[in-house]
Amino acid sequence: MVDHLANTEINSQRIAVVENCFGASGQPLAVPGRVLLGEGILTKECRKKPKPRIFFLFNDILVYGSIVINRRKYNSQHIIPLEDVTLETLPDTLQMKNRWMIKTSKKSFVVSAASLTERKEWISHLEECIRHLLTKTGRQPATEHAAPWIPDKATDICMRCTQTKFSTLTRRHHCRKCGFVVCAECSRQRFLMPRLSPKPLRVCTLCYRQLLAEKEEAAEAERGQREPTRSAVPGYEPSSGDDSDKSDDERAEQWPADTEFYTSAVSWSSFHS
């Protein structure tokens, strides 16, 4: 179907319609060989509450945005290269059913479809496009992904110190490494993660220590490679042979205490140590 539609007038018209829906705030989408395969409205789990988002599936990218006027105007355009996408099916919760996670190196988030059939169709088409792209480019599937953010209302206390209680005056923050909801005191540090952003990002205390240790280990390994290798056997030298949402509705929602999120096998309280 992609080969049949590529460079046809009807495909160009469809892409032009999508560009016009995003207006001046969107990026141009028409490039040679790009084909619009489908579109639909999915519910995206956002920081404050789940919200409907429009999604457009192309043969090489996934585009989504906020709905301003249904089927007519959209904004907050996001473009995700499909080569960077990995999908993971998730169990239902009391609030959302037919869920799955879209994981990328820069951002990971959960969406849900209106029905099980719709979810199967989305995942099937996405996986087929991803397989085709990886085969075409010779790349391996992505292995590193950004952590999804735990929704604000999932907890009333800091998920690191378990002491600070959130309120109108005590803000919630998110660690960009683990996605946990943390207080300001537990997320004072910033760390440069080029895969996510060119600027240092907020991280929790535990993740900061882990990232710092990894950085020091990498630096130590690099220093070791620079130093000349000496043989343990006197008089012998080794061979040198070749061998990185603004909220549009601030209303709070209550989350049941037994709600499962993205690592259902591990309680977040076990990470404190």
Q: What is the pLDDT of residues 79-93, one digit of tens each?
A: 999 999 999 999 998
| pLDDT at 67 exceeding the cut of 50 | yes
Instruction: Please report whether residue 199 resides in a domain.
Output: yes
Residues 21 and 101 placed together within one structural domain of the fold:
yes
Alpha carbon separation from 56 to 68, 72, 260 (Å, rounded):
16, 14, 28
Instruction: Please report whether residue 80 resides in a domain.
Output: yes
End position of a domain, from candidates 137, 163, 198: 137
Residues 93 and 156 placed together within one structural domain of the fold:
no
Q: Summarize pLDDT for 1-56 with one digit per residue, the tens.
A: 666 777 788 999 999 999 999 998 899 999 998 999 999 999 999 888 899 999 99
Integer Cα distance of 65 and 77 in angstroms? 5
Residues 20 and 129 placed together within one structural domain of the fold:
yes
Residues 86 and 114 placed together within one structural domain of the fold:
yes
Residues 12 and 57 placed together within one structural domain of the fold:
yes
pLDDT at 70: 77
Integer Cα distance of 64 and 256 in angstroms? 29
Residues 105 and 186 placed together within one structural domain of the fold:
no
Domain range enclosing 14:
3-137
| pLDDT at 251 exceeding the cut of 50 | no
Instruction: Please report whether residue 264 resides in a domain.
Output: no
Residues 32 and 123 placed together within one structural domain of the fold:
yes
Integer Cα distance of 202 and 218 in angstroms? 21
Mean pLDDT of the chain: 83
Integer Cα distance of 146 and 103 in angstroms? 7
pLDDT at 196: 85
| pLDDT at 273 exceeding the cut of 50 | no
Instruction: Please report whether residue 142 resides in a domain.
Output: no
Which of 79-88, 131-140, 175-184 has the lowest average pLDDT? Answer: 131-140
Instruction: Please report whether residue 269 resides in a domain.
Output: no
pLDDT at 59: 94
Provide the CATH number for the domain around residue 160.
3.30.40.10
Residues 160 and 37 placed together within one structural domain of the fold:
no
pLDDT at 22: 94
Any idea which residue has 């490039």 for tokens?
Answer: 31
Provide the CATH number for the domain around residue 54.
2.30.29.30
Sorting pLDDT into bands at 50, 70 and 90, what band is 233? very low
Task: Output 157 or 93, whichever has higher pLDDT.
Answer: 157
Q: Summarize pLDDT for 181-194 with one digit per residue, the tens.
A: 999 999 999 999 98
Task: Output 208 or 232, whichever has higher pLDDT.
Answer: 208
Interval 63-68 mean pLDDT: 94
Instruction: Please report whether residue 90 resides in a domain.
Output: yes
pLDDT at 262: 57
End position of a domain, from candidates 178, 195, 218: 218
Residues 13 and 121 placed together within one structural domain of the fold:
yes
Instruction: Please report whether residue 236 resides in a domain.
Output: no
Residues 126 and 185 placed together within one structural domain of the fold:
no
pLDDT at 3: 65
End position of a domain, from candidates 201, 218, 235: 218
pLDDT at 237: 37
| pLDDT at 266 exceeding the cut of 70 | no
pLDDT at 47: 85
Strand positions, DSSP E, 46-172: 50-58, 61-69, 73-81, 86-89, 99-103, 108-112
What's the total number of domains in the chain?
Answer: 2
Q: Which helix (H) or strand (E) holds 210?
A: helix 205-226
Residues 13 and 120 placed together within one structural domain of the fold:
yes
Q: Are 192 and 244 in contact (CB under 8 A)?
A: yes
Integer Cα distance of 204 and 184 in angstroms? 9
Any idea which residue has 């969107």 for tokens?
Answer: 26
Which pTM does this prediction carry? 0.74
Amino acid at 148: P
Closest CA to 35 of 133, 123, 118: 133
Mean pLDDT: which of 140-144, 223-227, 257-261, 264-268 is highest? 140-144
Instruction: Please report whether residue 73 resides in a domain.
Output: yes
Residues 94 and 25 placed together within one structural domain of the fold:
yes
